[in-house]
């Protein structure tokens, strides 16, 4: 079966306490609240975003090509908590990179670990991926802990150019393969 068709079948995903659903422009105010606080996204966006910049990011990064991109909501309160997405999808090779972020007020509550485990299971069992990748900045220890709790393994430590400052930084690459899940 085609990865893209399978991704479309999983436009909404439910976990024990969370609802992952397609990003909508109705989420623009919540997204702005998250992006305007530079402490929320120190490894994703370069600085505090204006409302225009936030709307631009939401539209051009999440809404233009919506498959494999989800807003994360608390199931009971319907509060917007963050985002998770499949990036750099290589359908013919059966792999994708995963990016994610959650509001600082919800860090350390297991939200992203729950989301990442669920998405990984679906990606392997129902969508057809063979490998998932997470790349973190060396100093992003919280994201590394999330990756490891979700079963990802550190496979590489390397230097690369930061997409915003263009300075060389240290990165870690984590991987999870379908065979690791069985």
DSSP state of 140: -
Of 5-14, 104-113, 164-173, give the lowest mean pLDDT range: 164-173
Q: What pTM does this model have?
A: 0.89
- Going from N- to C-terminal start, the domains of the chain cover 3-181
Three-state DSSP at 133 gives strand
| Residue 38 Cα distances to 32, 88, 158, angstroms | 11, 25, 25
- Confidence band (pLDDT; 50, 70, 90) for 41? low
Q: Are strands 95-102 and 131-137 parallel, antiparallel or unpaired?
A: parallel
So what's the architecture of 3-181 in CATH?
3-Layer(aba) Sandwich (3.40)
Mean pLDDT confidence for 20-40: 89
Best CA proximity match to 29, nearest among 84, 83, 101, 80: 80
Structure tokens at 79: 């509060």
Inform me whether the pLDDT recorded for 89 exceeds 70: yes
Of 14-23, 132-141, 159-168, 172-181, give the lowest mean pLDDT range: 159-168
- Confidence band (pLDDT; 50, 70, 90) for 46? low
d(CA 34, CA 176): 28
Q: pLDDT for 58-82, tens place per residue?
A: 999 899 999 999 999 999 999 999 9
Q: pLDDT for 145-182, tens place per residue?
A: 999 999 999 998 888 766 656 667 788 899 999 988 76
Mean pLDDT confidence for 32-58: 78
């Amino acid at each position: 079966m085609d990865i893209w068709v399978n991704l479309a079948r999983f436009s909404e995903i439910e976990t024990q306490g969370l609802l992952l659903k397609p990003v909508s422009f109705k989420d623009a105010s919540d997204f702005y609240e998250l992006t305007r606080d530079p402490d929320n996204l120190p490894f994703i966006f370069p600085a505090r975003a204006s409302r225009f910049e936030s709307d631009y990011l939401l539209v051009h990064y999440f809404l233009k090509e919506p498959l494999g991109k989800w807003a994360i909501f608390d199931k009971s309160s319907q509060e917007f908590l963050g985002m998770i997405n499949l990036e750099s999808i290589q359908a013919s090779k059966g792999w994708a990179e995963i990016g994610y972020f959650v509001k600082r007020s919800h860090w350390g509550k297991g939200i992203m670990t729950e989301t990442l485990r669920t998405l990984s299971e679906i990606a392997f069992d129902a969508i057809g991926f063979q490998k998932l990748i997470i790349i973190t900045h060396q100093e992003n220890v919280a994201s590394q802990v999330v990756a490891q709790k979700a079963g990802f393994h550190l496979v590489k430590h390397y230097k690369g150019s930061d997409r915003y400052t263009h300075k060389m930084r240290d990165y870690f690459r984590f991987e999870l393969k379908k065979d690791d899940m069985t």
